[in-house]
Chains A and B, each alone.
Chain A
């Protein structure tokens, strides 16, 4: 089915389930087209494995256009591979050379246990959002949207933070497996908006508490998260979160 002329060696992490011990397995691939996406190359490999009677490699993926945040491969030591500003599904084989050896592993973090092969459990992120990543407004409570003008620059900054896709690359690349970039992005999105003010300090405290409870590590300002984030979420968000977290301690109990 493939039409290209690239030959590759893949070393892929295989692990039967979360209790089994995993290991890297070698696969040879030929006739790979440079126009294929990285995941389409995996489709080709899986088709070959199925035809041989082997079990295909399990990996998370869905939209294949860089927005759902499902895909999560750690490629040659980098989350989402060698290129900046994209997810694994947006990576194309033209970013590799004929004859390359490519090592593919799952996200590695205590809070992201492996489920099978390259698939990990990222529900910790959902629990962080459930702890406070929202504005408490029931359906039907809203006023007319234009009754609350918001300066464009502020709205744009909020949007920049809201662009996070929750893929977990920040955690995977961090030597401490910290979820500070993810958590701070949601905190910043809401802290930058007037609607987010009433719960601002309660929010930062409960989200940080949940983040710690999930077993994510601390931030040591290395900045790898920002560098590897496919959506360019800024480290400034972490600074803002820390500021709010400490400010919250000076706000009276009642206000929090």
Chain B
């Protein structure tokens, strides 16, 4: 078995990171110049890591499948990024961010990692502002904040509804600067298709040039994966079309354990599915829940228009069930509550799989404030709404426009219709405190790892984690590995391990083309997505999961005998790329169901119907399941479970309550 030790530093929680950072072995500048690092992925985690490592003097090669590093899917993050700055003087602190994140994750994350995340959160904001990221400001010139779910302070920094875009472009600029200086070699339209492991250590990758189809070998003293999450296993998700698990899955098959694969985030506020043609789902930022109130009619199958339903015939079910947090409960709680109402027959819209997100009350409230500012006394409702709309437009304009474009309805006039959709995956490659996987020299950063969000991620924490890992964690922690690698000379690319890895990649690609079956890759992807959504989605049970496992095994057989991939391997062939990704998703899907079946409890986004309280809340089993599932891949596609016990020494583990 590979090394399976979380390597959490000794000492008090609050000093673990500081002490480790000061005692970490260093690599001197002259030696850094001869050390090569491969970074796969150019999103927040990959770009920030590649740029920072190059600034420090390492030789970096960075790979992305997109045509430019600026298009990594981090770009689509909307709402914001958390940081324990306490600029609003509302009682925020590193401890409170740490506590909220552990509790939000339903006590299934590692304390030490989360505390470090909270510690470096403030540095991220400083770094981004220094880079020229135009975060939202108040008239006094200082940074503005807003609220996100699962917290009672305002610690979320933002740039309209485009925070991910602005942060990524900051990291991209830093990366391009290093590329311009010749310190990072960038490989766009390249997809990593295997990790090369030599004598137990990661020593490079096999990448496919997506334009020419050529397979390339790249050496690295260490390999970093910042390759994002695997939400597209569900086919329909808020992820970009190209987001995939392939790099992480290849690493898994080369010995990296996969942590908590079944922990999936279903985001409560997405635009509902409109038909079979749908290729992806669009998120409406959680920031909308600052001002939007969620409700359904009190009457089943109410045929009336939303605006015709009087106030006392509406059920603001989140405010009713969770008075303390109201519409700002964490995502898993809000999603389940929406599903509960719709399943009970109170859903709205044509499909009845939607609830209302209504801005009318707050629009009027804003309008009243504006009226007072403009010395309009006793304004009528119409005036308030008109003035309020301007305020709402400034806060959420781009989101409202996006909604209108997709649905054809005007959210300034009618409430939005929303429904939960797959958004993020808390699970990922298992890593130790240093972000190293169970393969020495192979690291996983950002959404690609499992580390910080437990069973549910709080809003505005993904951007924080991606940049924390890339800017402020890996640049230090990698030193402890690389300082022992100074004597390792670059391994020649004709080493048998490189030759063998390339040959095995080639044989898989050739096989896809050779099958010449009858069904497109998308056909299989949609089928997989349907199984996953119905049986391993928002609610799961043992019967469904058992069925799903055998259905997925059958689907895998069908795929490998009946898929049709047109074209050839030696050209630009997006269908071939998709085939590889879907093949990996099918294997992952099976593991996700196994993990969900193994975890006989409900926690965070993992809701097993058999395990719930009388009020329908998730019922954890801390005696038997306070562990990270870390799965080891075995030849012939089977998986062996290892457990990393979670110790809560600083937070009293308790039933999560947002009431």
Contacts and interface: CB of A to CB of B under 8 A. Distances in A.
Interface of A: 1-3, 17, 33, 35-37, 39-40, 43-44, 47, 49-51, 53-56, 58, 60-70, 85-86, 90, 92, 94, 115-116, 119, 121-123, 125-126, 129-146, 148-152, 155-156, 158-159, 162-163, 165-166, 189-190, 193, 195-196
A92 B564 contact: no
9 nearest A-B residue pairs (beta carbon): A149-B141, A130-B180, A142-B130, A134-B173, A142-B126, A159-B134, A145-B129, A130-B176, A139-B52
A180 B51 CA distance: 27
Interface of B: 48, 51-52, 55, 66-71, 73, 75-76, 85, 87, 123, 125-143, 159-160, 162, 165-166, 169, 172-174, 176-177, 179-180, 186, 188, 211, 240-242, 274-280, 282-283, 401-402, 405-406, 408, 471-472, 475, 520, 522, 564, 566-567, 571-572, 574-575
Contact of A68 (B160, B174, B240): B240
Contacts of B135: 145, 155
Contacts of A151: 137, 139, 141
B169 A17 contact: no
Contact of B566 (A55, A130, A132): A55
B368 to A, nearest CB: 23
B277 A121 contact: no
Given A47-B520, A56-B566, A146-B87, 18 more contacts: A3-B275, A58-B574, A61-B241, A62-B73, A62-B240, A63-B76, A63-B240, A65-B280, A90-B405, A126-B69, A126-B176, A136-B177, A145-B125, A145-B135, A149-B141, A162-B134, A162-B166, A189-B134
Contacts of B277: 1-3, 33, 35-36, 40, 43-44
Contacts of A145: 85, 125-126, 128-130, 135, 143
A82 to B, nearest CB: 13
A139 B142 contact: no
A55 B405 CA distance: 31
B566 A53 contact: yes
Contacts of A166: 68, 70-71
Contacts of A156: 134, 137
Contacts of A67: 75-76, 162, 165
Nearest to A132: B180
A60 B126 CA distance: 35
Contacts of A69: 70-71, 75
B406 to A, nearest CB: 7
A56 B571 CA distance: 13
B123 A152 contact: no
Given A33-B275, A68-B240, A139 B51 contact: yes
20 contacts: A3-B276, A3-B277, A47-B520, A51-B520, A58-B574, A62-B240, A63-B241, A65-B280, A66-B402, A70-B71, A115-B211, A126-B176, A129-B172, A135-B130, A136-B177, A140-B123, A145-B143, A152-B138, A155-B136, A158-B134
B440 to A, nearest CB: 25
B132 A142 contact: no
A163 B134 CA distance: 10
Nearest to B65: A62
Contacts of B137: 149-152, 155-156
Given A53-B566, A55-B566, A63 B73 contact: yes
A159 B160 contact: yes
Contact of B141 (A137, A142, A152): A152
Contacts of B70: 69, 126, 129, 166
Nearest to B174: A134
B130 A195 contact: yes
A64 B282 CA distance: 8
A54 B520 CA distance: 12
A85 B176 contact: no
B275 A62 contact: no
B134 A50 contact: no
Contacts of B76: 63, 65, 67-68
A126 B135 CA distance: 23
Contact of B132 (A64, A125, A144, A195): A195
Contact of B67 (A1, A122, A165): A122
A118 to B, nearest CB: 11
Contacts of A58: 572, 574
B241 A64 contact: yes
A152 B165 CA distance: 19
Contact of B274 (A35, A116, A131, A141): A35
A144 B280 CA distance: 39
A231 B541 CA distance: 45
Nearest to B125: A145
B68 A122 contact: yes
